[in-house]
Structures are given as structure tokens and as C-alpha cells.
Structure 1
Amino acid sequence: MKKILILLFLLPSFLYSQDGTIDLGFNNPVHLNNPIYNGFSSLGSSGGAEIYTTKILRNGKIAVYGDFNVYQGIPTNKLAILNPDGSLDTSFNVGLGPDYVDQYYGSSSMICEQPDGKLIVVGSFTTFNGVSKKNIVRLNLDGTIDTSFNVGTSSNGYITCVKIQSDGKILCGGEFTQFNGQPYASMVRLNTNGTIDNSFNIGLGFKNIINSFTENGIIKTIDIQNDNKIIVGGKFLKFNNFIKINLVRLNSNGTIDNSFNIGIGGGNNTTNGTNNGQIYRVIYDNSLNKIYITGIINNFNGNPSYNLLRLNIDGTIDTTFNFTSVIGYNGLNSNGYIYDMNLQSNGKILLGGEGINLNNCTGSYCSRIVQVNQDGTIDTTFDCKLVGTYTRVYSIDSINDSIIVSGQFTSVNFEPIYKGSIVKVLQNGLTDLSFNPNLGTDPYTPSFASSISLNDGNIIANPTYSINYVYPNGDTNGIYNERITAGLIKINSDGSIHQNDYANFLTSNLYSYYLTKDNASNLISSNPFTKKIGENGLINNSFASTASIIAPYNVNIFVCDHALQNDGKIIIGGNFRYSSPGNGSYRQRLMRVNSNGTLDTSFNIGKGINGISVAGTEGYSVNTIALVPNNKIVLGGVFTDYNDNIISNIVRLDSNGTFDPTFNSGTAFNSDVYKIIYQQDIEKLIVIGKFTSYNSSNSNYIIRLNNDGTIDPTFTSPFAIGSTNSRVVNMVIQPDNKYIISGKIDGVEFLKRLNSNGTIDTSFANSTYTAVQNSFGDYDLVRNISLLPNNKILISGNFNHINSTRRDGIAVLNNSPFLSTDTFNKNSLHNIYIYPNPVTNEFEFNSLIEEVSIYSLEGRFIKKFKDYETKFNINELKEGVYILKIKNQKSFTHLKLIKN
């Protein structure tokens, strides 16, 4: 029988969490509705959405308007409000919303907020939530229609932009000839109740010429100066029968302001009488008393331009603003389209559009957002690239340091940062993780090659987008929490990136299949070469390279495992040949290196692990290495021969590499072995793999062996024989000798906990792990398992959901802290004490002790002393507090030890 000693001071955080359930404190927030994709969609899948207007409201929320019907898996039709963190504000509900939206009939200025928080929304719709509302509507704070706003029959054409004056009156621009039955050519001003303000008189209004025919002008943008004069931009050639190409300034009563001297105005050269240019956005800069205009503008008043200009208040070009850096599609000498711009509080200007490629960037994956300094030069500290089949930025809004970018795109900065047409970026162009983050790795192919926990609770992990995947710009980087990784990355215990060491790991560029730690705070990393790296991400260059490893028989190189001996030497196993410098001999699938990385020639494996790999198969390989007493070494994997000794997937070696015939495995395993762990406290070997028998005895996928290789009859596999690809692939052992295992049986991926006798622990949550597609194999959804210092469970692999909760490739599971102790009479050891305590290197007891086991404060087994030793050396342990389990005959006790 077992008892569990609970560490009471650690207990409260675990009181309400079942073991094996997700720890929601790791990498929070998560997407409550758990879509595979982030952001908006018009198809119920990644991409497809077009957002035309985003507006940051006074309360920090964001109004979003465009062609979409889903946000993060939640139905929402064409108009939504997001909370500052990117979650959907469910208190705002427009029901069916507008019946129609279209980019051609839109702009970045289709939403305005009144001082009372109500929203004016314009567009090309005929109904709103099933109610007849033509092209303009006012909404209450909850998204319902404000019926006190009455525009009559409204406009007979679409409305593209709206602006509220300081007196509350509403300016509307678009392409129409009438408003509520009265003649208004493309612009009108309304009173606060929706009626027409007849004091605003634009005469004949705005006209355009297309193929020598006069048509309605189109208003795309309106801004208001401090003196209440109104700047209007769009696509037109005349205002009230005066030549005004695409730009005009009006007095507050609607008449032309003749002090605004723009000459022939702005746009492209006309062709066959057609106006080819237009202005998408005007912004009045109150601090400089200047005016920014942007759009399709190749010339302005006869002067060449590049789609962005700054004008003096009198309409002349401000020559101190020299913008000439943005060119068009694929690096060609033609301008892209700038659909929107945003003037930030620091005076810099953000530009977004289509075909905006920066600094002669070539290819279709180039920058669609540019930041411009106050003198017109490009701000090279800002780097934000949006990617998609059709990539456009229609709207940019900012407040303080918050920049919201929207349009039509799927991902950001060439990485699989799926945003669904809306993203919040920082001042340097990186995505802002406070808004709708993709936490973990890529959700479409979420995969971690390796992960390991450190003593301080931090994590080293290797996220990867997909093995051998190359990004459109040629990069082969991975991704974690929306930041580029080049192999390994250091993660804080809460799931955030450890920023202090981020650059070091990025520079080291180490991809690792397998990680371990030594006692000097080094990480041992393998794939395909074994290297030492500090916990800070810096490579230990004093450790010799193993780059002479080559592939056997033209098969890919794999270092599958390595084991660190007490003397600092490292045993390396996998599917490789190591070429010994100078003598032309090989180390076949197994080698040992000295603590400095040089080959240990005293480790004599002869011909080593043999067997010819067959193309299309897993090949012969050493998959796992376990160090056992008397300096012996147990290997597991896929092999049939060791130095001419017939074996079957398991072998034990002496310390010098020679075959140990005393290991009684008989006919051994009938299929692959994936992992072997030696349980020091019970002196057993636990083995997992693809096998269904051992030495002709049934044992499906997991078995426990005695130290001599015979079967431990006290442990029985809980699994029946499954389909061909059934297997147990990974495992860790808890301090109470329970086993956390992962694998796949009959097509079902699982993570389970077994009791020490092999029965399934039903107190451990039974979860389902799913992924869109697999990067490593159909049995690697949970590829890595390790225990954190607080005894919680770190898992990583190829999953993007656990049950119905979004987790992209990495998660922490709840697990109770404990120490397992046998049922002994503890009272007889109550007079035992330790000295010295605290201790630096060596401690003793005041009487003889049969056995001492050392555990971390959280209950993790570390080390055991036996055979009535009198002095106990712990020089290799780090400073900290440890728990000793002391056994003498049939009595025991626990004591606390402090290591200085």
C-alpha cells in the first residue's frame, strides 16, 4: 500500500484542478472559441475576409466593418466590436447586420463615433438587421438601430465616408445625386437627427469625367480643420462646375475656399479625358497646421509625386517633406495603391495599401505597411509585412502606441502568424501579443521537436513550423508566440518568451531533436550533431564538434538519444556513422565522446549496431540509452546485431562498450523499442515501444524488466494488441513511480497515467489531442513529456487542440505535488538528524542509515545512496532546498536539507 505525503504549502493551487487537465495559467489568454484560425473570415476558414474600416473607440474598443461573417469561430455579420485584447464584445450585436458591403463602395472612413458612443455607419446596404435602412444607420451602444435617427429615403447611391463635426452635424460623402429626394451630388450634411442641413450648399456638387462622359464624382475622404473648413478628397474633376481634381477645401457652408491654392490639383495624368487618379485619404495635422493626402497620385499640380504628399495650409506642396521611396508591384517602377494612412502621436505616418513594396523589395511577398518620418523618409525601424494570396491594407487606426491594421491578409512577417485580416502591431512592426495572439507555434502544423524544463521553472523548447518547410522568402525558421525562432528558444514558466536570452538562441541557430542537462547548467543538444549550449543560449565552443557524423547507406542522419555519464562523458546513439579522424574507421550508430566532445577511443563497440536500412522504412537505429548500475549501458531501438552478437532491439553493454552476455533478454522484443528508463529507486527498467511480446511473453507496448533482463511480474501492460501502427512513444516517471505515457492505439492518440503496477490511473484526465496535419508522424501529437519543478506536466508536439481548448503545440497540465512513501512504522526514526545542515558538499547522519533518497522540494526523485554509507556527497547538486527520504530496515522518515 502507498501513502502520499502532500507538501501542504504547495497544495492550494492544486485543490480544484484534476491531474492531467490544462493549466490555463500557461500561455494565457487562449481563444475561448478555439478556431484553428485567428481573426475574421467570410468562409468559416482561414482568410477570405476583407475589412474596410477599423475605428478605435473612446473606450479603447475597436469597431470593425467589412465583408465577413465569422470572428474566431463566432458568427458575426459584417460589423463587430472587439475588446482591447482582441476578444469579441458580445454585448454589441447587430444581428443580420448590413445586407451588403463591397470594397469598391467603401473606404477607411465608414464609421464615426458620436460623443455619446453611438456609431454612424455608412455603406452600400439597403437593409440593416432586416430593417430597411439605406446606406446609413445610427446604432445604439448595444448594436441595435437608433430609431430616432431618421434620414428618410436616404441617398440614391452608396455612401463611402462619414465625419462628425464638433457641433454634432454629420458630413456624408459617396457617389449619389440625391439625398431624401433632394439634389445633392455626392456630399451632404445632416443634422444630429438625420434630417438634411440645408445651410450646407454645395451647388452642383462633384462631377467626374470617364471616357469624355460626365458622371458623378466619388467622395472617399473628409477631414475638418480647426477653423471648421472641410477638406474633401476622392475621384472627381469638378466641384460646383469649377476644375478641382480630386481635392478641394470647402468653407463650413459648403462653398469653395479659394484660399486653398492647389492649382490643377492631384491625380494621375488624364487619358482620353478620363481621370485616372483619386485620393483615398486626407488628414489635417493640427500640430503642424499641414495637410496630408494619399491615394493614386502620380502628379500634383504638375509636379511628380509618389502617392503621398504634405501640403501647406494654403494648398502648396510642402517641399520639406520628401517622400520618394515607395514603389509598386514586384519592384517595378510603378506606384502601388495607398488606401489609408494614419498620423501617429509621434508625428510619424503609417501607410497601408496594395502593392506597396519597400526599398526595391522584389517578389509578391513584400511590405504592405510603411512608416514615414516627419521629413518624408522611410522609418527603417518599422518592419511589418503582411502575407496572403491577395494582400491589401484598407484601414489603419492608432491611439497612443496601439496600431490596428486591417484589410485582406492571412499572416504577418512571413511567419505563420494567422491573423484573419486584422492585427495589432507595435512601434517596431512586430505583432502585439496583447491582442488576439497565436500562442504556441503554428496552428496549422503545430510541432515541437523537443522541450525540457530547467530547475528554475523555465523551459527550453524547439518549435518548428514543419520539417523541411521553406517560407516564401526562403526562411526555414520556426515560430513561437508570434516571434521567429531558429531552433531552440527559452520560455518563461508562464509560457512567455524569455526576452533576455531570445537573441542568443536566435543567433545560435540550434535545431534539436533531443535535449538533456548536465550538472554545470549546460544543455546537451542533438540533431544531427551533438553540441553543448548554455541555458542562456550561447554555444559552448570548447565542446568539440561531432560534424564528422555521416549518414549510413544514404539514409538521413538521426541522433535519437544521448546519455550523460557521471564522469561527464556522453554516449550518443541514433542512425549514423561517425568517421574517426585519421584512420578511416567508423562508429556505427553508437559512440561516446569525452566531456570536451572529442571521441572516446576507449569505448570499443567493434562493428557496432548493424543492419542495412531499407528505403521507405524507419531503418536500424539506437533510439534510447539508459545508464544502469555498475556503469553498464542499456540500448534500445531497431536492430538485430551488435558486434556480431544476435540480439533483438535491446542490448546491455559493459562500460567499455563490449557486449554484456549476462543480460538475460532471450529472444527479446518482436518490434521497435522507443524509450528505456532505469528506475533507480526500485532498480527496474521500464521499456516502451511498438512491440507486443518480450522473450515470447505477451507484453503490449510497455513492459518493466528486472535489472538482469527478466520480466518483472508485478507490472502488467494495460493495453490489448492494437492495429499495426499502435505504439507507446514517450514516457516520464513521477516521484511516486506512476508513469505518464503517450502514444497511439488503434488510431487514437492518447496521454495517460499508469499506476506503478501498470493499471490505468483513472484519476488522471483522459484528454483528446488533435491537429490539422502531422509534421513528424501520425503518432507524435504528444512528442515530448517532462515534469516541471512544481511537478506540473509540460507536453509538446504536433497538436493544436486539447479536447476543445486551443493549444498550439505546447501546454502545461495540472499535476499534484507529492512524495510517495512506503507504509512503514516511521516513529522508530524520530531521533535521526542531519549534520551539517545547511551543507556545502557532504553531510552525515547521527546514526547508520540503510538508504537515503533525495527529492526536489516538489517531489522529483534526484538521487539515491545505499549500503549503510556514513557520508553522503551532494557536490553536484545546485543550491536549494531538498527533501530526504530516509530508510532503515522497515522504518522511514523525511527530513529537509539545505544545500549552499
Structure 2
Amino acid sequence: MKKTLLFILILILSPFIFSQNGENDPTFNPFDLGFGIGDGFSGEIHASAIQSDNKLIAGGGFSMYNGIERYTLARLNPDGSIDSSFVVGTGFNDVVNSIALQSNGKIIAGGGFTSYNGNACNNIARLNADGTFDTSFNLGSGFNSSMTGVPVPLWIEAIAIQNDDKIIASGRFDEYNGIPVTVIVRLNPDGTLDNSFDPGPQINGEFSSIVIQNNGKIAVGGNCWSCNGTSINHILRLNSDGSMDSSFNPGIGFNSSINTLKLQNDGKIVAGGIFLAFNGNSAKYVARLNTNGSLDTSFDSGSLINNFVYSLAIQSDQKIVIGGKFTFQNGNGTNRVVRLNSDGSKDNSFDVGSGFDNRVYTVSIQNDGKVIAGGNFISYNGTTQNRIARLNTDGSLDNNYNLGTGFNNRVNSIAIQNDGKIIGGGLFTSFNGSVLKRVVRLNTDGLKDSSFDTGSGFSGYARRVNSVAMQNDGKVLVGGGLLDIYNGSSINCLVRLKTDGALDTSFDMGVGISGPSEEIHSIKVQNDDKIIVGGSFDSFNGTPRNSIVRINADGSIDNSFDPGSGFGYGRVFDIVIQTDGKMLIGGYFNSFNGEPSSNVVRLNADGSFDYTFDIGSGFNERVNTIKVQNDGKILVGGSFTTFNDNAVKGIIRLNSDGTQDQSFDSGSGLNGARSIVIQNNGKIIVGGVFNSYNGVARSNIVRLHNNGSIDESFEIGTGFDKPVFSLAFQDNDKLIVGGDFLSYNGIGRNRIARLITGCVDASVNVNWSVLTANNSDATYQWVDCNNNYAPIVNETSQVFNVTQDGDYAVIVSSNTTNCVDTSTCINIANASVNNNFNESSLKLYPNPNNGSFTIDIDREAEVAVYNSVGRKILTKQLKIGQNSINFENIANGIYYLNIADKLGGRNSHRISVMQ
């Protein structure tokens, strides 16, 4: 209901929203909250603890949460948003394995770290409730190893806090603050070692879990096998002084290690781990022990779970939530999470569907019974969750907890279909909470097109799509790096998809590309449906092809395209096919087929080097993007700082022969261009990785006039907060932007946005030297393009009668939407051309007049009269001599006359009517 109301509100308000060119279009994927919301954690969660206010402390191996830096520790609000009041600074410098909460709200964390926010703390630290380092916790040199000369990995694996706030910790160490200890210790509340706790001199192994009983006794489990000479086989119970509790008799114990222990209200202990048996009895991965250490046979989980258990949580009704690596429980599908009844049977009222797609390392239960799970999973029951999820009491996903919107990772490439639908490719694994791995099709409104079904998509770690391209028949070409599986089928970096998203098996590339890196960066389709592919590879289906190849429509190599030795070990990042069939190639290389050419080259249609394109010494750094203007001039963007030994940064325009176009002046330029698009009016939009253009603040996007100066009417505000990688037009005034950003001008947008680039008609009609803005409901300011777009004094009407040759444009400000835009520059070369007209051959008087005037001319000609809004109000043939022009009921104002003789002579005049 909330989403429906939001959408209706946007539809109602949308006519009033677009006030400036460059504004975000709120009707495009209107449910995108942006700001990284839904991204979740960037790495694994190993431990979690829920505070009494239902805030969650999470620790692990991550560096970000929802796009915000949080190193290995974060606190989340009850709705899943980041708790900004919990300030971790630079956080821990290594992994957090265990978290425990003290009664006063302070937090104990243990792991493999040596510092927290710049404060030394070997493997354990106490934090204040606000996340600051608690300096009153005196751990000295902390946990260490007495071994010298050999690097020994150290860590804390388990922490538990007694009612008196003393802290029990276990892990891999043999010293605490310089004092020899065994693998389990107890600390006083101030961090000093509690010498009254003595587990003896020799425990073989380490403990992964600690639980403290109401009577003060301590049950510990892990990968351990003896305590002071007594066999314990992975579990034992200690008295409150640390001595071994002989009344706890597990027999021969577990046959393998324990990962987690939890204590029931009745004192029984539930264990989960890697074991398959307990004391000679079958006990696969989960078991319950009586208070004396014997197996509780009333707990029967049947054929049990098929893989490791990492975490347990016991509800108030004594039902048990289990998380781990398993993929079924007792023959019933339940991936990585399950709830058992108190007798060990599966609780069928807890329906997880397909469950998690990867391991669950920690489960915690809120006061309201909801379950928070953390691990290294990406999705739950088909919805992206990125390592954290909250489940309702019935097992369904709680969609109110950090639900993802937009893309959860970067968008590298965008292609627009003829119907306006959008193909997107990148590193993402979800869109608007739906699992969509690395490629997706969106409807024109930015919502997912469910008719394009990619199945499991490009699965696997670090897979990335770098380029998507449309064929004339609507099929989609997709290329990238480490792409070896698409929806379960083996592939090799390049696939063709049918219009419904299914793999097109008729596209047969054999073994495809190969080489040390095997990556595709650019795909372009010729008019004859042949496909140019560029990237980093050294062969195609066994035929040598260094970084560029042309493929026939069926996927076979086109041997008529022969690049010779190609780009060697270079990389191709962009390909542009010219109208004459030649192709411009940009990338990171220094030669082509033995011919020197730094980072840009033009090839003939057969793949040979085009010697007519001469860039001299070329670019000193990589070229990422190339666009060809209608006049054949070439825009080039990248991370270069010189071209042909001349300073030019990030963007340049070349003439069609490869020389620098001096009429395009980018000044000090920008740091890195990644994508360029050209509007129909000739304006140039650049996206990339930069925070300024020619010294003017512009964050990752800028629009330029045709001469390279900034178009100030394209108002981006603070711009994009992170890089832009791809730009594409749905039509001439709707710009789709993809990248790694989380917001645009303060508005949340997760990695895709649509900008308005033409909210007012700024087109101009040209009639000889008379320029007329076509928008009649606006205010106007004519400007001189050759003078840095300086306003022309007193030229603020809809019509501009040019009297001096040059390049001119008009700034149009709509009277209805407050939108402002600047027209393209128009070259006038006939303003001062009178041919053989002179003062004696053409006279006009009086001027000003009352609507009646005389044209005295020495030849036959024709006059056209225009009013101030550019509408023609009179056409009249002129005879030799005096010609009277009389207007009845003409309004006062400025009028424009264009006079032309039969031999091509022409002139223009402006008259004022004042009655």
C-alpha cells in the first residue's frame, strides 16, 4: 500500500517536479531509496548480539554496510539501518569472531585484530555503548604467543560474561598481558587477569563456544581432546574456579569438533558442529545433552542435518533455530536455516522456502521472536540480503528490514532497446531486492521486466559484465570477465541471449576467447550483424587474435577481418564503428600489428591499420570511451594527461584525420572520463571519475557546449557521490546513468538513475541571419558562443536579428516549469553580407514608423516580414523603385525584414513600430 501511494503521489507531482535540466527523474524506479540501503555487508558476518533495545551488534570480516565504511564491527537500528550514533572510526584492523554484551551496555569483542580505531588491543577489546574505545579496560599487551621467531596466528574465538561482569575468553593464545595462560581465561571487569580461575596447565585444542550455567559452572566446546591429561573429546564443563567438573560425564564425547553451544532454561545443553556421533551414538551435527553430560535421547532429529552447524539460538518456547552449511533437514528442503521443535523434530510452521544460498554463521532472536541471521550468503528465498536477514516468526523474510532497492553493486554497461527498455550489466547480484546476477532488463519506467528471465544468471564469485550490446533482431550480447556459467550452462566470457533472456545456443563460438586474463570490455554490432569484440585475450576458438576479433552472426570467427598481431598484450576498452565502416579503437596499448599507436587507433573495415589517421605520439594513458559527432569529429575520454605531447586532461576532440581539434577547449579538463554521449543538439555529456571540470566543481558528470565549455544550464547540484561508468539515452531528453554511485544531488539512487536533459524546448529556427526561438512561452537571453557564452546586451526577445557573423545561442527559461536550457550554437556567416546591396541600392524609411514605411530598391526582390516571435506576417514582391508597406492595426514592437534578390543578394533589417 505504501508503495502504491508513493507511486500515485509521484505521478500527480511529476508535472511540477522537473524544474531544471539535469534533475533526477523521480518517476524512474520511484521505490529506489538509494544511499546504499539494502547493500548489506561487504563481507562475512561471524558474530552478532542483540541489545535490549533490539539494536544489533554485528562483527566479522566486512568493511562496509549499506555503502558506509564500518570495519569489522557495526551496530544496526531495529529497522536494519546503520546506527550512526555508534562510532567505530577505523574500527578493528582484522576479523571479529565473538561479541558479548555486559549488563551496563558495554560491548566485549574478540577476534584476530591488534587495534581498534588506532588503539592497541591484541585480540580483545571493550567498547563503550557509543562505540568508543573503553580505556578503563586494562588488557595491557593482551593475548599473545610465547613462541618467538615463528609467526603464530592468534585469535579469540569465544567470549561469555558472568553475572558479575567477569569475562571468560577462549581461543588460540598462551599468554595474556605477558602472563602464561592456557586456551581459556577469565578476566576481571577491569580487564586484568582473574588468577582465581585456574583450568590447569594443559588443554590440548581450543574452544569455539562457552556457556555459563545459572550455578556458575561453565560448559565449553570446540576442537579439543584433552584437559590436564583427561580425555574430553570436544566438550567439558568447568567449575566456577576453572577446575574440571567431574560430575559432567560425556563418555567418549563427540567424534569431531563443536562450533556452538546453547543453554536451555532447564539446564540442558544443545550442541551443533561438525560431529556425527556422541559417546558412540549417532548424532549428526546437532545433539542435546542432559545436565550430567549424557545424551538426551528425547531429542530426536531423525536423519538430522546433512552438513555443518555453525550457530544455534533457543527461543523462549524452547524451539531451536539452527544456522549452518546444510542444505536439507530430515529429507526436507531447508537451506542453511531450520527451526526444530523442542523434541528435535522439524517445525513445519517455520517455512524458509529455498532458504539461504550460502552459509549462516550466526543466528540471534529478538524480543519479539524474529530471527536475525548473518553469514556469507547473498540471498534468502530468492531475495537479495547480502549477509544479513531478518525472518518473521513463520520463517518468511521480513521485508521491512533493510530491503534492497536499485542495484546492490556497480553497473558497468547500459544498452537501450528500440522500445526504450534498458539492458544493464555489471557486478550486481540483485535489483530492487530480486536476485538478478549481473544482467537485467528494465522496463521504460525503471522497474524490472519480468519477461526477461535470466534464471540464475552469471553465477560465481567476482563475475562481472563489462559490456552489453543490442543486435538488430533484439537479441542481446553480453561480455565480461570470469563469466563461465550462465543459468547453469558453461560459457566463456561472451554470450548471446534471446529476447526472453534465455541463452541462444545457436551462437556457437567454440572455445571462445582465451588468454592470461580472458576478459571482454567492448562489443559493437555492425549493420551486417557482424560483431566486433575487444578486450584482453590472445586467441578466439584457437585462432590467434590479440584483444580484438570480428565474429560472424553465428558466433564463428570472421577471417575476412585480419588484425595481424593485433594489440599484443594491450587491452581494448571501447570500439566505435564509423559510417564508412572504419572503426576507432580505444584502450591501453602502444601499438597495433607492429605499428606504433598509443591507446587510440583507426582500422579499416578489413582490420588493417588506417594510415590516414595520424595521432602522432598519441595518448600517454588509457582511453576509455570514444564518440563520433555528426560532423565526423571524434570525442575521446580517458585518464590521459597528454595527447601528442600536448597537455590535455581526460577529454579531447580530434579531427577526422586524428589531429587535435583546437576549437574544442577543455581547459584543465577532468581526471577520468568513462562514458560520453552526444545529444541531438550537439551538446556533450561526460560521465566518469572526477570532481571538477576545468577547475569548476562537477562531481562525476558534466554537460559541455560544442566548444568544450561547461553548459551551466545543466544543473547537477552536488552530482553523483561515486563514479559514473555508463551513459545512454532513452530518447533525446532522458539520460540513463549507471555506475557505482548511491546518490545524485542528495537524492538516493543506487547505481542507476534517469536525468532530465531537455525539460524545455530550446530549439531555434534559422532564417538567413534571423534567429527565432521556437518556444513562445519563455524568456530569452541571446549569447555569444565565441565569447564564453557572454550575454548580448539588449537581445532578450524571442527573435534575434544577427548583424555580425559568429556563433550564437539562446538561453530559454520556461514560463510554466521554471526550466532553463541553452540551445546549440548556430553559425551565422551571412549577417554582414549584402552582396551588391549598398546604401544607394537599398533604403528603408522612416524607421521607427507607425506601421507604414517605404523600401526604395534598385532591383526586383522579395521581402519577408517577421514579428518578434518569429511568425511571418507578410511576403511581398518588390519592384524597382519605391515600394510602400502598410500595416493596419499592427502592434507596436520590433519587426524583422529579410530581403532577397533573384541573383542571391540578400539583406536584413530591423524596424520599430511606434504608434
Normalising by structure 1, what TM-score?
0.50
**Of 396, 407, 425, which aligns to 1:462?**
425
Q: For residue 756 of structure 1, give the secondary structure of its aligned residue in structure 2.
A: coil
**Of 492, 514, 539, which aligns to 1:550?**
514
The structure showing larger relative contact order (alpha-carbon pairs under 8 Å, at least 6 residues apart) is: 1
Change in CA separation of 1:455 and 1:87 when aligned onto 2, cut-off 3 Å: farther
**Distance apart, 1:520 and its partner CA:** 0.7
* 8 A Cα contact 2:36 2:750, kept in partner: no
Tell me what 2:653 maps to. Answer: 704
Change in CA separation of 1:580 and 1:460 when aligned onto 2, cut-off 3 Å: closer
* 8 A Cα contact 1:331 1:360, kept in partner: no
Q: For residue 512 of structure 1, give the secondary structure of its aligned residue in structure 2.
A: strand
Q: Is 1:655 matched with 2:594?
A: no
**Distance apart, 1:765 and its partner CA:** 0.5
Structure 1 counterpart of 2:560, one-letter code:
S
Q: Is 1:384 matched with 2:348?
A: no
* 8 A Cα contact 2:373 2:390, kept in partner: no
Structure 2 counterpart of 1:784, one-letter code:
S
* 8 A Cα contact 2:590 2:599, kept in partner: yes
**Distance apart, 1:517 and its partner CA:** 0.7
**Of 530, 534, 538, which aligns to 1:577?**
538
Gaps of 5+ in 2: 1-10, 59-64, 69-73, 84-101, 109-162, 165-212, 218-264, 271-285, 482-492, 693-697, 771-820, 822-903, 905-915
Structure 2 counterpart of 1:16, one-letter code:
F
**Distance apart, 1:328 and its partner CA:** 11
Q: Is 1:523 matched with 2:476?
A: yes
Structure 1 counterpart of 2:18, one-letter code:
Y
Structure 2 counterpart of 1:578, one-letter code:
S
* 8 A Cα contact 2:642 2:648, kept in partner: yes
Q: Is 1:488 matched with 2:439?
A: yes
Tell me what 2:673 maps to. Answer: 728
**Of 603, 622, 629, which aligns to 2:579?**
629
Residues 735-814 of structure 1 mapped to structure 2, 5 A cutoff: 735-745=680-690, 750-762=700-712, 763-767=714-718, 769-770=720-721, 781-789=723-731, 791-802=733-744, 804-814=746-756
* 8 A Cα contact 1:451 1:461, kept in partner: yes
Work out the CA distance in 1 between the residues paired with 2:458 and 2:639. 38
Structure 2 counterpart of 1:665, one-letter code:
I
Q: Is 1:394 matched with 2:344?
A: no
Q: Is 1:716 matched with 2:665?
A: yes
Q: For residue 465 of structure 2, give the secondary structure of its aligned residue in structure 1.
A: coil
Tell me what 1:450 maps to. Answer: 413
Work out the CA distance in 2 between the residues paired with 1:642 and 1:801. 40
Tell me what 1:423 maps to. Answer: 390
Structure 2 counterpart of 1:339, one-letter code:
I
Work out the CA distance in 1 between the residues paired with 2:562 and 2:75. 71
Structure 1 counterpart of 2:609, one-letter code:
F
The CA RMSD over aligned residues, in Å, is 5.8
Change in CA separation of 1:767 and 1:787 when aligned onto 2, cut-off 3 Å: farther
Work out the CA distance in 1 between the residues paired with 2:590 and 2:216. 82
Which digits, 9 at most, give the CA deviation of each residue in 1:708-749, with x for residues without a partner? Answer: 3343343221435x7xxx332222222222222123358996
Larger radius of gyration: 2
* 8 A Cα contact 2:509 2:541, kept in partner: no
**Distance apart, 1:356 and its partner CA:** 9.8
Residues 634-713 of structure 1 mapped to structure 2, 5 A cutoff: 634-680=584-630, 682-713=631-662
Change in CA separation of 1:698 and 1:499 when aligned onto 2, cut-off 3 Å: same
Work out the CA distance in 1 between the residues paired with 2:762 and 2:735. 17
**Distance apart, 1:209 and its partner CA:** 8.9
* 8 A Cα contact 1:353 1:392, kept in partner: yes
- % identity of equivalent residues: 22
Work out the CA distance in 2 between the residues paired with 1:500 and 1:650. 40
* 8 A Cα contact 1:508 1:539, kept in partner: no
Gaps of 5+ in 1: 1-8, 40-44, 54-62, 89-97, 105-156, 159-207, 213-273, 280-294, 309-321, 343-348, 399-403, 466-477, 614-619, 772-780, 829-858, 860-888, 890-900
Structure 1 counterpart of 2:521, one-letter code:
C
Change in CA separation of 1:64 and 1:324 when aligned onto 2, cut-off 3 Å: same
**Distance apart, 1:514 and its partner CA:** 0.7
Tell me what 2:489 maps to. Answer: none
Q: For residue 308 of structure 2, give the secondary structure of its aligned residue in structure 1.
A: helix
Work out the CA distance in 2 between the residues paired with 1:32 and 1:799. 9
Structure 2 counterpart of 1:816, one-letter code:
G
**Of 436, 440, 447, which aligns to 2:402?**
436
Work out the CA distance in 1 between the residues paired with 2:512 and 2:373. 50
Work out the CA distance in 2 between the residues paired with 1:395 and 1:734. 54
**Of 561, 565, 569, which aligns to 2:522?**
561
Which digits, 9 at most, give the CA deviation of each residue in 1:769-804, with x for residues without a partner? Answer: 446xxxxxxxxx222222234843322233344455
Q: Is 1:600 matched with 2:558?
A: yes
Work out the CA distance in 1 between the residues paired with 2:629 and 2:765. 20
Tell me what 1:330 maps to. Answer: 308
* 8 A Cα contact 1:450 1:461, kept in partner: yes
Residues 91-170 of structure 1 mapped to structure 2, 5 A cutoff: 100=104
Which digits, 9 at most, give the CA deviation of each residue in 1:56-76, with x for residues without a partner? Answer: xxxxxxx957779xx999xxx
Work out the CA distance in 2 between the residues paired with 1:66 and 1:816. 46
* 8 A Cα contact 1:67 1:101, kept in partner: no
Structure 1 counterpart of 2:518, one-letter code:
I
**Distance apart, 1:521 and its partner CA:** 0.5
Which digits, 9 at most, give the CA deviation of each residue in 1:73-119, with x for residues without a partner? Answer: 9xxx999886xx9999xxxxxxxxx9857999xxxxxxxxxxxxxxx
Work out the CA distance in 1 between the residues paired with 2:710 and 2:596. 35
Q: Is 1:50 matched with 2:49?
A: yes
Normalising by structure 2, what TM-score?
0.49
* 8 A Cα contact 1:452 1:459, kept in partner: yes
* 8 A Cα contact 2:357 2:379, kept in partner: yes
**Distance apart, 1:419 and its partner CA:** 7.9
* 8 A Cα contact 1:341 1:352, kept in partner: no
Structure 1 counterpart of 2:653, one-letter code:
R
Residues 345-424 of structure 1 mapped to structure 2, 5 A cutoff: 352=321, 359=328, 367-370=336-339, 377=346, 382-385=353-356, 391-395=362-366, 404-406=370-372, 413=379, 423-424=390-391
Q: For residue 588 of structure 1, give the secondary structure of its aligned residue in structure 2.
A: coil
Change in CA separation of 1:99 and 1:604 when aligned onto 2, cut-off 3 Å: closer
**Distance apart, 1:559 and its partner CA:** 2.2
Work out the CA distance in 2 between the residues paired with 1:711 and 1:32. 40
* 8 A Cα contact 1:14 1:814, kept in partner: no
Work out the CA distance in 2 between the residues paired with 1:704 and 1:797. 24
Work out the CA distance in 1 between the residues paired with 2:709 and 2:352. 58
Work out the CA distance in 1 between the residues paired with 2:19 and 2:634. 31
Residues 270-289 of structure 1 mapped to structure 2, 5 A cutoff: 276-277=267-268
Work out the CA distance in 2 between the residues paired with 1:717 and 1:766. 21
Q: For residue 813 of structure 1, give the secondary structure of its aligned residue in structure 2.
A: strand
* 8 A Cα contact 1:684 1:705, kept in partner: yes
**Distance apart, 1:416 and its partner CA:** 11
Work out the CA distance in 1 between the residues paired with 2:82 and 2:76. 14
Tell me what 2:695 maps to. Answer: none
Work out the CA distance in 2 between the residues paired with 1:575 and 1:646. 19
Work out the CA distance in 2 between the residues paired with 1:543 and 1:78. 49
* 8 A Cα contact 1:50 1:421, kept in partner: no
Work out the CA distance in 2 between the residues paired with 1:580 and 1:422. 44
